Amino acid sequence: MEYLWWVLIFFTGAAVGSFLNVCICRMPVNESVVYPPSHCPACGEKLWFGDLVPILSYLFLKGRCRYCDCRIAWQYPVVEFATGFLFVLAVAKYGLTMGTLRTIVLFSIIIPAMAIDLKYKIIPDRLNLAGVLFGIPLICESKEVFITHGIGFLAGGGLLLLIALASRGGMGGGDIKLVSVIGLLLGWKLLLPALFLAFLTGGVVGITMLLVKKIGRKDPVPFGPYLAIGAVLAALAGDQMIGWYLGLTGAF
Ligand SMILES: [Zn+2]
């Protein structure tokens, strides 16, 4: 029966992913994420429950709107699946703890941050604000957690602010706020591998794109997607990575 438990967690995550899709579509154009209710972006027809079951509706409708037969963007099932999958990994890693809640809030912020940054090259303030508002109650678990995560919040933003000033606007304000949110939800210890992986993957991709002349030297590169990748990897395997690194350098 245990697999039913994981199916339940997966579909809980996928349902959250369904809401994240709404955030991805509406936040960058300053629309409310709660009103009006979900509708087809092509024909405007209001969707009912049967159209809104995560992943399954998309498969059942074969990726087309029930009313006007237009194609449903693949973003919808992909975000739903990714969110469900990451929720399963979060629970598998942290069990039934506050750490799981912080991790799933983190994932629920960085998935839309990544999608919106890729599409619009911005990270909306209200997305970061949601991370802070959901995050702060979750770090009040104990004094130790509060301090570790509070430092992550302040250090994350402060460090990136310095880099932004040094690089003269090479890094956007939305990125800095997102690093603060990641620091708040991961704590400063896991923020370090998250940032390391973000700069590493961002650097590799950026240099590759420069080499194949996909982008020019002056083109802005959205950093949000790399922050998201770094944060996911750090949340799921950051402690092993730190242990491995400390063992390698013989620090302990
Ligand atoms: Zn339609």
Ion ligand 1: residue ranges with CB closer than 5 A: 40, 42-43, 65, 67-68
pLDDT at 234 (0 to 100): 97
Distance 52 CA to ligand 1 centre (A): 13
Distance 122 CA to ligand 1 centre (A): 28
Distance 29 CA to ligand 1 centre (A): 20
Distance 60 CA to ligand 1 centre (A): 15
| Least-confidence region, from 35-39, 131-135, 152-156, 170-174 | 170-174
Chain centroid to Cα 191, Å, comes to: 14
Q: Is the pLDDT of residue 140 over 80?
A: yes
Contact indicator for 33, 26 with CB cutoff of 8 Å: yes
| Digit-coded pLDDT (tens) for 1-42 | 689 999 999 999 999 999 999 999 999 999 999 888 899 988
Distance 58 CA to ligand 1 centre (A): 13
Distance 72 CA to ligand 1 centre (A): 8
Distance 39 CA to ligand 1 centre (A): 8
User: What radius of gyration do the chain's Cα atoms show?
Assistant: 19
Q: Among residues 48, 50, 43, 33, which one has the least CA distance to residue 71? A: 43
Contact indicator for 104, 90 with CB cutoff of 8 Å: yes
Distance 31 CA to ligand 1 centre (A): 20
pLDDT at 170 (0 to 100): 62
Q: Among residues 71, 87, 89, which one has the least CA distance to residue 79? A: 87
How many angstroms separate the most distant Cα atoms in the chain? 64
| Least-confidence region, from 2-6, 122-126, 208-212 | 208-212
Distance 65 CA to ligand 1 centre (A): 5
Other beta carbons less than 10 A from residue 62's beta carbon: 8
Q: What is the DSSP string of 9-30?
A: HHHHHHHHHHHHHHHHHHGGGT
Query: Could you give the 3-state DSSP secondary structure of residue 68?
Result: coil
Distance 61 CA to ligand 1 centre (A): 12
Chain centroid to Cα 145, Å, comes to: 21
Distance 11 CA to ligand 1 centre (A): 24
Distance 22 CA to ligand 1 centre (A): 16
pLDDT at 247 (0 to 100): 84
Distance 46 CA to ligand 1 centre (A): 9
Distance 73 CA to ligand 1 centre (A): 11
Spatial CB neighbours of 164, under 8 Å, sequence gap ≥ 6:
170, 171, 172, 173, 175, 176
| Digit-coded pLDDT (tens) for 84-112 | 999 999 999 999 999 999 999 999 999 99
